[in-house]
Structure 1
């Protein structure tokens, strides 16, 4: 059997990183600081996990 590789981990990681960036920008603007911080931390962690999970 031949192994196949996908770029799923890269795509999911980049999307989660983009959402984390938007959350961090929400913290910088001063609007919805707790929600922005929670989104930035959660999606930042998911971004790193996605790269490792789909490797």
Structure 2
């Protein structure tokens, strides 16, 4: 029997939400927005993105 410690993220989802690509910033770099058009202030590399 295993016990999961309080606050453990072992069972947390790996990927978060659905996002739209709002701007292509360079070689494999993207700016994202949420579905409700709220801009995410971080640049993301294509390696970190997955199709949904």
Q: TM-score, normalised by structure 1?
A: 0.28
Q: TM-score, normalised by structure 2?
A: 0.28
Query: Which protein has greater RCO, CA pairs closer than 8 Å, 6+ apart?
Result: 1
**Bigger share in strand:** 2
Which of the two has higher C-alpha Rg?
2
